[in-house]
Amino acid sequence: MIVLGIDPGLSLTGWGIVDAFSRDKINPIQYGCIKTMPSTPLIERLQRVHTEIQTIINKYKPEAVAIEEIFFLKAARSVASVGQSRGAIVLTISINKLPLFEYNPRTVKIALTGYGSADKHQMQRMVKTFLKLKEIPRPDDAADALAMAICHVNTVKWASKR
Amino acid sequence: MIVLGIDPGLSLTGWGIVDAFSRDKINPIQYGCIKTMPSTPLIERLQRVHTEIQTIINKYKPEAVAIEEIFFLKAARSVASVGQSRGAIVLTISINKLPLFEYNPRTVKIALTGYGSADKHQMQRMVKTFLKLKEIPRPDDAADALAMAICHVNTVKWASKR
């Protein structure tokens, strides 16, 4: 099962593709970060995020997309930026008729570490362990996106071992 | 010049189409409201907003789109809802390669009433006057969208009278 994990943002959107054969066998395929400049008009920034996500979908053909829920405790301006990017991303997923799964940060932390208050470093180490990577994925947004994809793999009901 | 004005929201998105021959001659073409239910999954709500805006663009062929800037003083949850809908709408405008113009509420108030602190009622009366309507457009979101379109017509530099 190929899963695309997304950590949405306007300046930085992390993404990660994994291929899962079971809960315990998850292979990293690719990960990265979509960057847009604050000096660029909003419409061009959202078009850029859309085009890059579309390219990732075309290339890796994910069967499911896992995205982080909006975190309300941030400043309203930050929520507005993340929200607009997230709206453009969710619409892109919808246009591609892919199933979307939304996870809040606490659920992702529990899925990866068994602990809802795990810190960023513990999470990143678990991403490295789950995916048998030699190093922690950089930037943080890409590691967060991979965590999202792993969380989805762990949440899905596996009917039988492949 | 056909202008589409939009007052973005997730539960309610107001829209209005005007045809302007000059600053003083603005004809209302159509206006309305896109509604989505809070009980519907986000991805379906954003798809609905996208589909309806696309239908309006196909039908009325606007040459420019005027949209309200995000208002940061609201609660973060409300900013998140409006933001995601606005992101999906802006992406739809971008996909259609239409020029987008963003106006903040104060600019719209000054354009319509000459007064940056005009209240909702004064604004709605001016929309009615500008468009020579018999009644104030309902719901409020549609009136706000028409105000946005009128603001754009008043902001554009008119090279010569048509």
Which residues of chain B make contact with A50, given a CB cutoff of 8 A?
91, 94-95
Which residues of chain A make contact with B85, given a CB cutoff of 8 A?
87
Mean pLDDT for the stretch of residues B146-162? 83
- Which of A67-71, B88-92, B127-131 is predicted least confidently? A67-71
> What percent of the residues of chain A are helix, what percent strand, and what percent coil, each to the nearest 5?
45, 20, 35
What is the pLDDT confidence band of residue B82, given thresholds at 50, 70 and 90? very high
Q: What is the dihedral of CA B66, B70, B73, B79, to 10 degrees?
A: 140
Mean pLDDT for the stretch of residues B43-59? 98
3-state secondary structure chain B: CEEEEEECCCCEEEEEEEEECCCCCEEEEEEEEEECCCCCCHHHHHHHHHHHHHHHHHHHCCCEEEEECCCCCCCHHHHHHHHHHHHHHHHHHHHCCCCEEEECHHHHHHHHHCCCCCCHHHHHHHHHHHCCCCCCCCCHHHHHHHHHHHHHHHHCCCCCCC
User: Above 70 in pLDDT, residue A147?
Assistant: yes
Predicted local distance difference test score (pLDDT) of residue A89: 98
Closest CA to B127 of B104, B98, B153: B153
Closest CA to B10 of B57, B32, B43, B56: B43
pTM of the model: 0.93
Phi, then psi, of B129 in degrees rounded to 5: -65, -50
Predicted local distance difference test score (pLDDT) of residue A76: 79
User: Above 60 in pLDDT, residue B160?
Assistant: no
Selecting from A46, A79, A82 the residue whose C-beta is nearest the C-beta of B94 gives A46
Mean pLDDT for the stretch of residues B150-157? 91
User: Above 80 in pLDDT, residue B158?
Assistant: no
Query: What's the Cα-to-Cα distance from A141 to each of A72, A124, B46, rounded to whole Å?
Result: 18, 10, 24
Predicted local distance difference test score (pLDDT) of residue B70: 86
% pLDDT > 90, chain B: 86
List of domains in chain A: 2-161 (3.30.420.10)
What is the pLDDT confidence band of residue B24, given thresholds at 50, 70 and 90? confident
Closest CA to B16 of B51, B69, B65, B80: B65
Phi, then psi, of A136 in degrees rounded to 5: -70, 130
pLDDT in tens, A99-134: 999 999 999 999 999 999 999 999 999 999 999 999
Predicted local distance difference test score (pLDDT) of residue A24: 85
Q: Do A50 and B91 lie within an 8 Å CB cutoff?
A: yes
User: Above 60 in pLDDT, residue A161?
Assistant: no
What is the pLDDT confidence band of residue B73, given thresholds at 50, 70 and 90? low
- Which of A68-82, B50-64, B134-148 is predicted least confidently? A68-82
Mean pLDDT for the stretch of residues B1-20? 97
Handedness of CA A61, A85, A11, A40 (dihedral sign): positive
- Which of B26-40, B73-87, B100-114, B144-158 is predicted least confidently? B73-87
Testing the interface with B: which of A91, A93, A100 to mutate, by most B Cβ within 10 A? A91
Which residues of chain A make contact with B84, given a CB cutoff of 8 A?
70, 83-84, 86-87, 90
Q: Do B79 and A79 lie within an 8 Å CB cutoff?
A: yes
User: What residues of B are labeled active site?
Assistant: 7, 68, 141
Q: Write the DSSP assignment of A43-84 as a string of letters.
A: HHHHHHHHHHHHHHHHHH--SEEEEEPP-TTS-HHHHHHHHH
What is the pLDDT confidence band of residue B159, given thresholds at 50, 70 and 90? low
Q: Which two tokens stand for residue A35?
A: 């960057």
Predicted local distance difference test score (pLDDT) of residue B23: 84
Query: Distance (Å, rounded) from C-alpha B86 to C-alpha B84?
Result: 5
Closest CA to B31 of B44, B12, B22, B18: B18
Which DSSP letter does residue A116 get?
Answer: T
Q: Do B72 and A70 lie within an 8 Å CB cutoff?
A: no
